[in-house]
Structure 1
């Protein structure tokens, strides 16, 4: 009887490693552990990876970038948030293997990497990247080889900043501009960046620096972190979790045939 229950659960979930067409994007169904091991293997082999976390806001804001992202080498788009699961369940009758986000994945990479990683942090208000760097060094035991705040990062000549990042010998670049600015930046500089692992991480630097607070563990387990954030930032997030959510489901319906 237990096997039957397991088989039923498996049929309701996309397999680890399966690619799911959702909202016009190809989204990888995976778990945090499996995905981390893929990234570690790619780092060890010197293979590039560009990682984006697709939540409902990503799907809405990055629609104009779909074709360019499709052509980006070594791209991995993974699912982030309950909205992606709801859309997948609605349209394809299955949910993703797990939920991933940069805020959880990056500390997991730090804790399980075979050797310390070398981070370059790009984004946030002035002072945020520097404070996040202290957290990565002191709490997570990693090396931070460079930082640049989001204002300077977007205003500074792209070539000069890319040269600075490449010269830092970072093997992980965190780009924290939010959607769709971080995806645009990664696309614009993809050909010149030598950093093997680049992640678009949204608000991660704010969380690492203590500028923003994460929801309590219990709220995250219930997958209600979005509600916690909306409660604390209603003016900034109310549209994202109301009108934009309707737009998201309309986009997913329009692209339902993949």
Structure 2
């Protein structure tokens, strides 16, 4: 079993880190993690880039393992697959499931002031609808929206400049694995936003384009089955063939690195 302290892994918390699939995954709870993130918004708080490790992340981001160990990066667990892998390799579970769909609203609720968001990614119109939810339901400010299609291509060379000019506290990048991780890592040094998240389908959920599972389904860790039922064509391979790849990646990484 390979355990290092979060401090050694470059995260601003005293929680432990579990290595899974070659990635350092922070083992923490939602409330203290949100407090740690909000501290980044204070003067001198530094910058933090947050990624949510589900089984798809572990499989698709293998080529980014080294840059994902940068001290400015924090990876947290998302989904029952990570829990099963942690039990198999480390004989312990994560404290609770962490995902952007829960974390971002919690960040908004616990902030002492409205946060300034920039939304990057999603199909045309999705970001605008997600922005409306952030403003109307969560009381936040949205200082910029750029979809992941025509707008992003049109902005291309000046996108980072556009984001910085908007002065967001929080940048949400919804381009899917591994595109969002690669984009954030490549531009991390130039991006001035204190907090940046690779959020996958979050904008779809905020916009109402996708539905969350009922609370009781989330509590029994079956949200993946609910999503599979709604989007079988897109998700069947991820929750079948790719699961075997995921566990294979975790086992091979354990033998190679001791993690």
TM-score in same-fold range (> 0.5): yes
C-alpha distance in 2 between matches for 1:167 and 1:198: 15
Indicate conservation of the 8 Å contact 1:166/1:194, yes or no.
Answer: yes
C-alpha distance in 2 between matches for 1:79 and 1:216: 20
C-alpha distance in 2 between matches for 1:73 and 1:122: 23
Indicate conservation of the 8 Å contact 2:176/2:201, yes or no.
Answer: yes
Deviation readout 1:26-48 (Å, 9 max, x if unpaired): 00001110100000112114310
Aligned residue runs from structure 1 range 78-93, under 5 A: 78-93=76-91
Shift of 1:177: 0.8
Change (3 A) 1:20 1:153: farther
C-alpha distance in 1 between matches for 2:194 and 2:84: 33
What residue is the counterpart of 2:8 in the other structure?
Answer: none
What residue is the counterpart of 1:247 in the other structure?
Answer: 245
Q: Which structure shows the bigger proportion of residues in helix conformation?
A: 1
Aligned: 1:177 with 2:172 = no
Shift of 1:255: 1.1
The alignment yields a C-alpha RMSD, in angstroms, of 1.3
Indicate conservation of the 8 Å contact 1:122/1:153, yes or no.
Answer: no
Aligned: 1:202 with 2:191 = no
Give the 3-state SS of the residue equivalent to 1:43 in structure 2. coil
Give the 3-state SS of the residue equivalent to 1:26 in structure 2. strand
C-alpha distance in 2 between matches for 1:17 and 1:240: 30
What residue is the counterpart of 1:55 in the other structure?
Answer: 54
Shift of 1:92: 1.1
Which of 45-54 and 76-85 deviates more?
45-54
What residue is the counterpart of 1:121 in the other structure?
Answer: 119
Give the 3-state SS of the residue equivalent to 2:42 in structure 1. helix
Shift of 1:133: 0.4
Indicate conservation of the 8 Å contact 1:53/1:100, yes or no.
Answer: yes
Aligned: 1:140 with 2:138 = yes
TM-score between both structures, scaled by the size of structure 2: 0.91
Return 5+ residue gaps in structure 2 as ranges: 1-12
Q: What count of residue pairs does the alignment treat as equivalent?
A: 243
C-alpha distance in 2 between matches for 1:26 and 1:186: 18
What residue is the counterpart of 1:228 in the other structure?
Answer: 226
Shift of 1:153: 5.4
C-alpha distance in 2 between matches for 1:53 and 1:237: 18
Return 5+ residue gaps in structure 1 as ranges: 1-14
Shift of 1:68: 2.1
What residue is the counterpart of 1:76 in the other structure?
Answer: 74
